[in-house]
């Protein structure tokens, strides 16, 4: 039997992670598929040929996208050529909606089957993109519990498989990873500043300024993104008191007492490890104004979005400053009422998300769907 050719497009570190877990589960389910991808080290470790690395793909905010438009347009052209050269039967799009929805339209017109994993946030803004999903996506896999009823309201059936981060956290705990070798035994104040250079330059100096107020009681540990070098971080920090930990974010979270976290996937990871957190978000002034005009959501962190209430404090744009970070962290010190309330809400969040096994469930469904 001729193997089906799957071309995966993941444009960020989190997409690379989830795609890699899916490929691992998929290979256990069937050997009737071969893969090429735009991805990162995780997909490569699963034996997938990487045609473009995620480190070259992450652009943040409206202004940043405009500034990098020539590169992005070249990327579209390159991606189409590589899919054509591979003779892909299926494109598997992982998150990264600005790029991937356009690729869905092109692939559909080429007669290539389109699978989308991790729904675009059509419920937050550009709700008209629902029609793009309807027209260009053959099968959508959602990972947030409220997405299935949202799509149903628009007459679109999607598959809800659960959140893949539950798989990651479960696997980490099963493997019983060794504890970090750190400078001392003080409790950890973790810094998770994101994986994009633009956001790091904006937020990391503010996080560091706030965190240094807690140096007497805590050791400061920065979880570095796998796509960025230690040299890049050291240029921004220039302080030996901050300990850098590369490729071990879960080890950091498993030992942390509290955290400053950039909005995104990391907010949910932090909650799954039951680490009290303050969420930080800051973009360029113009990008923020455009987003504020377009986005129709009450919260920016996954924790608050899933729970539909403020579980973690979000410091956005002008509020994203060292003074407020310090104030909010102080509220989360051990023994405080706010800390205990946040931890209790985490327990409810984890109950709502359900069981691990999203990758296996999706792999099973996909193998069946693509062999029909």
Same-domain pairing of 21 and 141: yes
Same-domain pairing of 198 and 324: yes
Same-domain pairing of 61 and 98: yes
114-115-116 Cα angle (round to 5): 120
Q: 72 in a domain, yes or no? A: yes
Q: What is the pLDDT of residue 171?
A: 87
Q: How far apart are CA 345 and CA 334, in angstroms?
A: 16
Same-domain pairing of 184 and 276: yes
User: How large is the greatest C-alpha to C-alpha distance in the chain, in angstroms?
Assistant: 65
Same-domain pairing of 9 and 155: yes
Query: Are 307 and 297 a contacting pair, CB within 8 Å?
Result: no
Is the pLDDT at 83 greater than 90, yes or no? yes
Same-domain pairing of 92 and 132: yes
Q: What is the pLDDT of residue 71?
A: 75
Number of separate domains in the chain: 2
CATH label of the domain that carries residue 108: 3.40.50.2000
Same-domain pairing of 109 and 226: no
Q: What is the pLDDT of residue 64?
A: 56
Q: 252 in a domain, yes or no? A: yes
Same-domain pairing of 349 and 361: no
**Comparing C-alpha atoms, which of 281, 242, 259, 271 is closest to residue 329?**
259
Same-domain pairing of 194 and 87: no
Q: 170 in a domain, yes or no? A: no
pTM score of the predicted model: 0.80
Tell me which residue range forms the domain holding 97: 4-162+357-371
Q: 326 in a domain, yes or no? A: yes
Same-domain pairing of 205 and 316: yes
pLDDT digits (tens, 9 = 90+) for 277-326: 999 988 766 665 655 555 657 888 999 999 999 999 999 888 999 999 99
Same-domain pairing of 213 and 234: yes
Q: 179 in a domain, yes or no? A: yes
Same-domain pairing of 186 and 69: no
Q: 167 in a domain, yes or no? A: no
308: CB partners within 8 A, 6+ apart: 146, 298
């Amino acid at each position: 039997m001729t193997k089906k050719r799957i071309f995966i497009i993941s444009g960020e570190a989190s997409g690379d992670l989830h795609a890699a877990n899916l490929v691992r589960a998929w290979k256990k389910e069937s050997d009737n598929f071969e893969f090429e991808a735009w991805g990162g080290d995780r997909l490569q470790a699963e034996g997938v040929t990487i045609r473009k690395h995620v480190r070259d793909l992450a652009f943040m905010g409206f202004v940043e996208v405009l500034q990098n438009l020539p590169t992005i347009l070249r990327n579209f052209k390159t991606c189409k050529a590589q899919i054509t050269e591979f003779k892909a039967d299926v494109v598997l799009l992982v998150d990264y909606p600005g790029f991937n929805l356009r690729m869905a339209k092109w692939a559909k017109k080429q007669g290539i089957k389109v699978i989308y994993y991790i729904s675009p946030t059509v419920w937050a803004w550009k709700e008209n993109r629902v029609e793009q999903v309807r027209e260009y996506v053959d099968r959508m896999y959602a990972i947030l519990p409220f997405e299935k009823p949202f799509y149903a309201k628009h007459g679109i059936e999607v598959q809800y498989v659960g959140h893949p981060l539950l798989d990651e956290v479960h696997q980490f705990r099963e493997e019983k990873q060794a504890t970090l070798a750190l400078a001392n035994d003080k409790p950890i104040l973790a810094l998770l500043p994101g994986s994009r250079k633009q956001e790091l330059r904006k937020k990391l100096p503010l996080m560091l300024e706030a965190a240094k107020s807690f140096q007497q009681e805590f050791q400061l540990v920065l979880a570095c993104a796998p796509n960025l070098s230690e040299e890049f971080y050291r240029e921004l920090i220039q302080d030996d008191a901050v300990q850098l930990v590369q490729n071990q974010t879960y080890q950091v979270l498993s030992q942390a007492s509290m955290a400053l976290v950039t909005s995104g996937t990391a907010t949910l990871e932090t909650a799954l490890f039951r680490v009290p957190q303050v969420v930080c978000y800051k973009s360029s002034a113009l990008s923020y104004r455009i987003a504020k005009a377009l986005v129709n959501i009450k919260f920016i962190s996954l924790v608050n979005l899933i729970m539909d209430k403020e579980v973690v404090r979000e410091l956005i744009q002008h509020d994203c400053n060292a003074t407020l970070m310090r104030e909010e962290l102080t509220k989360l010190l051990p023994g405080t009422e706010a800390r205990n309330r946040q931890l209790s809400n985490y327990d409810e969040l984890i109950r709502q998300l359900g069981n691990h096994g999203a990758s296996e469930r999706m792999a099973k469904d996909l193998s069946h769907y693509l062999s029909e």
